[in-house]
Structure 1
Amino acid sequence: MKILVIMGSPRKGNTYRAAQRIEDVMRSLGDVEFEYLMLSGVKLEPCRGCHACFEWGEERCPVRDDAPAVEEKMHDADGVIFASPVYGLNVTGLMKTFIDRFSYIFHRPRFFDKKALLLTTAGAVGEKDVLDYLEDVAGIWGFDVASRAGIVTPPGTTPKKAQENDRKLETAAREFFRALAERKERRPGLRSVIIFHGQRATFDELGDAFPADHAYWKEQGWLDPGARYYTSVPVNPLYDAVGRIVEWVARRRIRRDLAAMR
């Protein structure tokens, strides 16, 4: 198993050590290969918000940095660990720049065969907010979020707290390893199905405004009338019905707005 750790911390501190603990547990369970990608050592420039990637594809992005190589590393891995300490109740600036730089993947998801583990450390509070945010990002990008771990590591951590943190890391590592070994695709929840149908309405109706997105969705077969989700995994019929209602409403709204602009 090839594991890529995308490390949003600018230093090798608590978050890095937590990732190493996860690595140790996974190595005790089987054959794994870890690679640490320190974002502090990667050239990723801030997104310029020009929409070129949305309209014409990521190849037309005016920024020339290490983004293509970073995406290739994600494709080559079996699983990705998204790791960031809590800075100001959110991910670090390094992690946010990374996420923003790959904004086109929100429109054109592609990592459906990958598992993800989410990891954060906090000095006091904010770990749940960061994990929830990373889960939204990884989920929309296509990753199956198999496990998550948020630990609190204040100065002078007590032995009891240290043991609690270690249990969380061990549990997350075991869940991640099991998901990678089983390679099962989980059925999507209601929110994921709604996102699929909402995006389908947008990129189908606004094909002239987002030609790259429209072409990508058409190539994937996601614009076909019978498509129920990004992959062929079974979808709860009730979720599918709700998603199609959301899509119908979204299409009507988009068409009304377009007519008003003419």
Structure 2
Amino acid sequence: MKILVIMGSPRKGNTFRACEEFREILQQDCAAEFEYLWLKDRHLLPCKGCLSCFSRGEEKCPNRDEVPTLEQKLLEADAVVFASPVYGFNVTGLMKTFIDRFSYVFHRPRFFDKKAFVLVTAGVLGLNDAISYLEKVAGLWGFEVVGTTGLIMTNDNPPRSLAEKNKKILTKAAKEFLTALQRNKRKSPGIMDVIVFHSGRAAFSQLEKVSPFDYQYWKNKGWFSPGRQYFVDIPVNPLFLAAGRIAGWMTIRQIRKDTVLD
């Protein structure tokens, strides 16, 4: 089993130490291979906002850097840990640049056979905002997010009580993560997951001329097929499905309205 850690920290500090402790706990019960992808050491140019990846495909991006290589690493992993310290009440600039450069995956999600875990550290504040953001990103990219953890880590020599507290948090998180990794089936989607699918399905079905690459991707995946309930074939709560279909109907209605107005 291969676990890829997307490391958003620019240094081997608290976040790296937390990831290492998480790895050590996990490897007590699982012979998982960990690989660190240090964003600080990768050639990643800022997104230009040209929208070429949306309309013409990611291969048409004018930036020539390591994005294709990094995507291949994501595809080869069984699970991914998104790890970042809190900078300015959210993820680091390194992590944000990484996410921006993979914006096309929000339109064309693809990591449905993989699980994700979010690990965030902070000195005092900002854990919830950063965790929520990374959890949303991973979910929209197709990952099954199976756990999140936020740790307050003050310095290299934290008080014993804080170190023991973090140890308990990481131990519990690692056990839950391992249980999820050993579960072959993906959990049924939540209501927002279903709404996102049906809203996207409705939107891209109407945007063949505006966003042909996105349209073709969804079509090739069979996501426009009548009766399709979700990205992957798993049980969907009937109430969630009803909410998703309503959201899809409203999306089409709004797009057609905007098109008439234009």
The TM-score, its normalising length taken from structure 2, stands at: 0.98
Aligned residues: 261
Runs of 4 or more off by more than 6 Å in structure 1?
none
**In structure 1, how many angstroms separate the alpha carbons of the residues matched to 2:113 and 2:202?**
24
2:31 maps to what in 1? Answer: 31
**In structure 2, how many angstroms separate the alpha carbons of the residues matched to 1:38 and 1:98?**
11
**In structure 2, how many angstroms separate the alpha carbons of the residues matched to 1:128 and 1:143?**
20
Residue type of the partner of 1:126? G
CA deviations on 1:35-68 (whole Å, 9 max, x unpaired) are 0010000011111110000001101111100000
2:110 maps to what in 1? Answer: 110
2:188 maps to what in 1? Answer: 187
Partner secondary structure for residue 119 of structure 1: strand
Establish whether residue 178 from structure 1 lines up as the match of residue 179 from structure 2: yes
1:90 maps to what in 2? Answer: 90
1:99 maps to what in 2? Answer: 99
What's the CA shift for 1:172?
1.3
CA deviations on 1:195-224 (whole Å, 9 max, x unpaired) are 111111111111111111100000001011
**In structure 1, how many angstroms separate the alpha carbons of the residues matched to 2:106 and 2:99?**
10
Partner secondary structure for residue 28 of structure 2: helix
What's the CA shift for 1:176?
1.3
What's the CA shift for 1:184?
2.1
What's the CA shift for 1:190?
0.4
What's the CA shift for 1:153?
1.0
Of all paired residues, the percent bearing the same amino acid is 52
2:260 maps to what in 1? Answer: 259
1:216 maps to what in 2? Answer: 217
Residue type of the partner of 1:31? A
**In structure 1, how many angstroms separate the alpha carbons of the residues matched to 2:30 and 2:252?**
48
Partner secondary structure for residue 18 of structure 1: helix
Partner secondary structure for residue 221 of structure 1: coil
**In structure 2, how many angstroms separate the alpha carbons of the residues matched to 1:61 and 1:159?**
49
2:60 maps to what in 1? Answer: 60
Greater Cα offset, 70-79 or 159-168 = 159-168
Q: CA RMSD in A?
A: 0.9
1:226 maps to what in 2? Answer: 227
1:249 maps to what in 2? Answer: 250
**In structure 2, how many angstroms separate the alpha carbons of the residues matched to 1:131 and 1:176?**
16
8 A Cα contact 1:117 1:172, kept in partner: no
**In structure 2, how many angstroms separate the alpha carbons of the residues matched to 1:109 and 1:179?**
21
1:16 maps to what in 2? Answer: 16
Partner secondary structure for residue 35 of structure 1: strand
Partner secondary structure for residue 37 of structure 2: strand
Residue type of the partner of 1:93? G
Greater Cα offset, 38-47 or 166-175 = 166-175
**In structure 1, how many angstroms separate the alpha carbons of the residues matched to 2:101 and 2:86?**
20
Partner secondary structure for residue 63 of structure 1: coil
What's the CA shift for 1:183?
2.2
8 A Cα contact 1:22 1:170, kept in partner: yes
Partner secondary structure for residue 145 of structure 2: strand
Matches within 5 A, 1:102-181: 102-155=102-155, 157-181=158-182
Establish whether residue 70 from structure 1 lines up as the match of residue 74 from structure 2: no
What's the CA shift for 1:232?
0.3
**In structure 1, how many angstroms separate the alpha carbons of the residues matched to 2:209 and 2:168?**
51
What's the CA shift for 1:26?
1.2
**In structure 1, how many angstroms separate the alpha carbons of the residues matched to 2:8 and 2:84?**
5
The TM-score, its normalising length taken from structure 1, stands at: 0.98
